[in-house]
Amino acid sequence: MVSNQDLIKAVFDDDVVKRNKWFFKADWEKAEIIKLETESKVLNIKYIIWINGAWKDGVWENGIWNNGTWKYGYWKEGYWYNGTWKEGYWYNGTWYNGDWENGYWKDGVWKDGIWKDGTWEDGVWEKGKIWNFNENKYLESKVSPNECKWSLSYGK
């Protein structure tokens, strides 16, 4: 059986572990992470694959989401394949190594939250705020980012 310490080292960059005092509480049976945080502004997650469970808070910077419930937090980039987004910040469009890195949403249910860039392919959008670059603010939307004319995801 892999120890929690070995699992943490496998998931997070070594330099993040060395430079930051950070912590999280986890219930490994339920795959539930609570209040993932760090003293630095962004905790860099390296190639995490999420299958089911509940994400309650923290920063997601890369990886694959495959089912489960996102309750709150900050999503920077990665691939969302299914699940339920209840609240939080989806922020993408980061310039990295000479190219744009984007989040990609393929399927699932968006109940509420804030969307700023990325690719929305398909899913159910109930309500949320989408960044409007013309007005330089978030506006309420009842249509998904690829259908919202002021969204950078429009038409994707």
Residue 1 per-residue DSSP state? -
Q: What is the pLDDT of residues 97-145, one digit of tens each?
A: 555 557 889 999 999 999 998 889 999 999 999 999 889 999 999 999 9
DSSP string, 56-118: -SSEE-SEEEESSEE-S-EE-S-EE-S-EE-S-EEE--EEETTEEE--EE-SSEE-S-EEESS
Calculate ∠ Cα 82-83-88, nearest 5°: 115
Structural tokens at position 76: 């920077």
pLDDT exceeds 50 at position 2: yes
Structural tokens at position 72: 């709150």
Q: What is the pLDDT of residues 59-99, one digit of tens each?
A: 787 778 888 899 888 888 888 999 999 999 998 855 445 55
pLDDT exceeds 80 at position 19: no
- Average pLDDT of 26-41? 54
| Domain assignments of the chain as residue spans, ordered by start | 4-141
Q: What is the pLDDT of residue 26?
A: 54
Q: Cα separations (Å) of 81 from 47, 54, 62, 68, 96? A: 15, 15, 13, 10, 23
Residue 17 per-residue DSSP state? H
Q: What is the pLDDT of residue 103?
A: 83
- Average pLDDT of 26-54? 60
pLDDT exceeds 70 at position 6: no
Q: What is the pLDDT of residue 149?
A: 92
Contact partners, residue 29, CB within 8 Å, separation at least 6: none
Q: What is the pLDDT of residue 95?
A: 46
Sheet bearing 128-132, strands edge to edge: 59-60, 74-75, 89-91, 114-116, 128-132, 137-141
- Average pLDDT of 1-28? 54
Other beta carbons within 10 Å of 99: 8
